[in-house]
């Protein structure tokens, strides 16, 4: 197991190149088996979730090669429709494989997906949508067994704009007979990226980024070489780090409109922010005021994947803040670790009440999930003294070269094997 040793109190200055988005890349891995031709996904970040998704494809019989940062997928010899429980329990995004497997093999068997322990995250919306397309589903022994004949286009209404369900419908309907219309679809930028990827393969998908998506089924898809979008959550994490520590940081590759809700809140904290094309510059004195209220919401609302980081920021500000988590019921599990650093937080249900203490102090803390782990790193960077952040396996799921990027900004951070 590795840990970060972080000496806090250093201001951050410089430019951060942002990696391809984890939440965009993983569905592209799933989509790559929709064709028997080669697919090249460029500039894939070196994160453990991407490695896990590659292993899932290998278990299906696909040839997956890493050529530098590019990933080449050749699924011509893929024959298996079964994903082992070992891998699905490690990776929530394995659920995307349902739509792809049903399109390719007309059957799928997958264990209930895992990932971070941040709540139940039921997949009822996925399964009910697949049933609408003609899939027969049986659940037994912890596995989901799916089978279908010819998938047929239909009208699907999502009761909640689930990103995963929306993406799974696209993967299942892209070669279905007829037209599928998804109403109440998620609007996240990663949905647009998946649409662009599928269309580059010869699909006919339109409407991504709105709440109505139309998929006209096609008979075949071909190979593609594709560069995914940059990671707006990674960009947001570095902007929050600079806000907490003080300094001036530029993030490259992400449009301000994709994280406009975060930028609004950081301005409310007292930061100066300038955006131009795909560059965002943040200036911070490091002495900020708390946000009055933040509620996580589906896009374009405040992203749940930045909730932990903005909570850590508010702990070191002046005043009081109220954070409401509307998407995942146990996403405040990191709070006791922040309290070790002197944070004044009270959690009741889905709401965290924060009284800013001005500055946290160093402590030994344990990362329990991906975004909670990132929050602890940010808190340690801004805190007084030295902190140890343990169990980096969670952080490694979504951030590549985190310590090197922070070092280049002037942070005092070391990765140590323990």
Which are the catalytic amino acids? 116
How far is 76 from 191, CA to CA, in rounded Å? Answer: 26
Tell me the β-bridge partners of 301: none
Task: Please report, for the chain, how many H helices and E strands are present, in that order.
Answer: 13, 24
How far is 58 from 73, CA to CA, in rounded Å? Answer: 9
184 burial class (0-12, 13-18, 19+ CB within 10 angstroms)? middle
Contact (Cβ atoms closer than 8 angstroms) between residue 304 and residue 327: yes
28, two tokens: 């592209």
Tell me the β-bridge partners of 147: 107, 136
How does strand 247-252 pair with strand 212-216?
unpaired
How many residues does this entry show for the chain?
418
Please give the full DSSP string across 66-130, using - where no structure is assigned.
EETTEEEEE-TT----EE-HHHHTT-GGGGGHHHHHHHHHSEEEEEPP--S-S-----HHHHHHH
């Amino acid at each position: 197991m590795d840990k970060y040793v972080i000496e806090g109190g250093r201001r951050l200055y410089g430019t951060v190149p942002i990696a391809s988005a984890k939440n965009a890349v993983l569905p592209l891995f799933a989509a790559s088996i929709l064709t028997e031709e080669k697919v090249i996904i460029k500039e894939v970040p070196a994160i453990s979730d991407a490695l896990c998704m590659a292993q899932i494809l290998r278990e299906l019989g696909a040839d997956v090669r890493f050529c530098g940062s590019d990933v080449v997928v050749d699924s011509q010899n893929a024959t298996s429709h079964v994903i082992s429980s070992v891998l699905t329990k490690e990776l929530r995004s394995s659920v995307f494989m349902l739509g792809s497997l049903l399109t390719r093999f007309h059957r799928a068997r997958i264990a209930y997906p895992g990932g971070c322990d941040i709540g139940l995250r039921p997949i009822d919306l996925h399964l009910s949508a697949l049933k609408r397309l003609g899939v027969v589903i049986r659940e037994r022994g912890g596995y989901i067994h799916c089978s279908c004949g010819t998938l047929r286009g239909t009208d699907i209404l999502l009761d909640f704009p689930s990103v995963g369900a929306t993406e799974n419908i696209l993967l299942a309907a892209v070669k279905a007979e007829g037209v599928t219309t998804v109403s109440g679809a998620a609007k996240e930028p990663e949905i647009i990226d998946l649409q662009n990827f599928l269309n580059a393969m010869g699909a006919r998908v339109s409407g991504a980024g709105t709440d109505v998506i139309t998929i006209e089924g096609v008979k075949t898809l071909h190979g593609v070489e594709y560069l995914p979008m940059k990671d707006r959550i990674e960009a947001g994490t570095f902007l929050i780090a600079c806000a907490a520590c003080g300094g001036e940081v530029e993030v490259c590759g992400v449009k301000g409109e994709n994280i406009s809700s975060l930028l609004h809140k950081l301005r409310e904290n007292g930061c100066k922010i300038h955006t131009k094309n795909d560059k965002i510059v943040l200036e911070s004195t490091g002495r900020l005021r708390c946000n009055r209220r933040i509620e996580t919401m589906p896009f374009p609302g405040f992203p749940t994947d930045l909730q932990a980081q903005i909570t850590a920021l508010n702990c070191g500000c002046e005043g009081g803040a109220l954070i409401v988590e509307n998407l995942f019921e146990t996403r405040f599990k990191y709070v006791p670790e922040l309290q070790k650093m002197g944070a004044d937080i009270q959690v009741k249900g889905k709401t965290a009440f924060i009284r800013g203490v001005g500055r946290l102090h160093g402590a030994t803390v344990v990362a329990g999930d991906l975004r909670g782990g990132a929050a602890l790193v940010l808190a340690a960077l801004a805190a007084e003294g030295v902190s140890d952040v343990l169990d980096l396996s969670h952080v490694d799921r979504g951030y590549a070269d985190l310590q090197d990027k922070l070092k280049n900004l002037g942070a005092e951070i070391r990765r140590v094997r323990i």
